[in-house]
């Protein structure tokens, strides 16, 4: 198994964890807000679960499939986080279409979008640079 395949399988674990946040007692408050920052609904859970399955399948299939997962997933998630940072709404959950621009405190936008920016950035960097021949 190549480094990119291992990273894709690691994304499976992380994304499966994200999909399960609503179902772990004590992680969300009475309003369904995780870590006091973001509310995850069934659509978010389904997106994270589908992404996790994609990561696992790609990681187990081949180096090429894992690299494609890392590049495409990374682009989508990083872009979603960046848009959320700028507008307060992302596109993966259709927030930009449903809610438009939101006037939220910048610090809150950073915390709410950091997971997608971070995961997307790591995936993109891994897809572009890990396992390259020198």
What are the residues whose beta carbons fall under 8 Å from the beta carbon of 16, sequence distance 6 or more? 48, 49, 52
Express each pLDDT in 65-99 by its tens digit: 999 999 999 999 999 999 999 998 889 988 889 88
In a domain, 49, yes or no: yes
> Whose structure tokens read 């995936």?
123
DSSP per residue over the chain, as a string?
A: --HHHHHHHHHHHHHHHHHHGGGSTTTB-TT-EETTTEE--HHHHHHHHHHHHHHHHHHHH-HHHHHHHHHHHHHHHHHHHHHHHHHS--STTSHHHHT-S----HHHHHHHHHHHHHHHHHHHHHHHHTT---
| Whether pLDDT at 108 is above 60 | yes
In a domain, 14, yes or no: yes
Longest pairwise C-alpha distance within the chain = 52
| Whether pLDDT at 116 is above 70 | yes
In a domain, 134, yes or no: no
Q: Which of 10, 21, 20 is nearest to 73 (CA)?
A: 10
| Whether pLDDT at 134 is above 60 | no
Query: Domain limits at 16?
Result: 3-129
If one counts the domains in the chain, the total is: 1
Please tell me the distance from the alpha carbon of residue 126 to that of residue 57, in angstroms, as a whole number. Answer: 17
């Amino acid at each position: 198994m190549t480094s990119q395949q291992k990273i894709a399988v690691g994304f499976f674990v992380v994304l499966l964890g994200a999909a399960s946040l609503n179902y772990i007692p004590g992680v969300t408050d009475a309003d369904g807000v995780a870590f006091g920052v973001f509310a995850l609904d069934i659509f978010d859970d389904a997106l994270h679960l589908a992404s996790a399955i994609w990561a696992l399948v790609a990681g187990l299939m081949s180096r090429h499939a894992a690299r494609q997962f890392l590049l495409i997933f990374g682009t989508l998630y990083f872009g979603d986080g960046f848009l959320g940072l700028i507008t307060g709404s992302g596109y993966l959950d259709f927030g930009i279409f449903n809610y438009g621009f939101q006037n939220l405190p910048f610090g809150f936008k950073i915390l709410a979008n950091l997971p997608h920016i971070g995961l997307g950035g790591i995936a993109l960097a891994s897809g572009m640079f890990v396992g390259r021949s020198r």
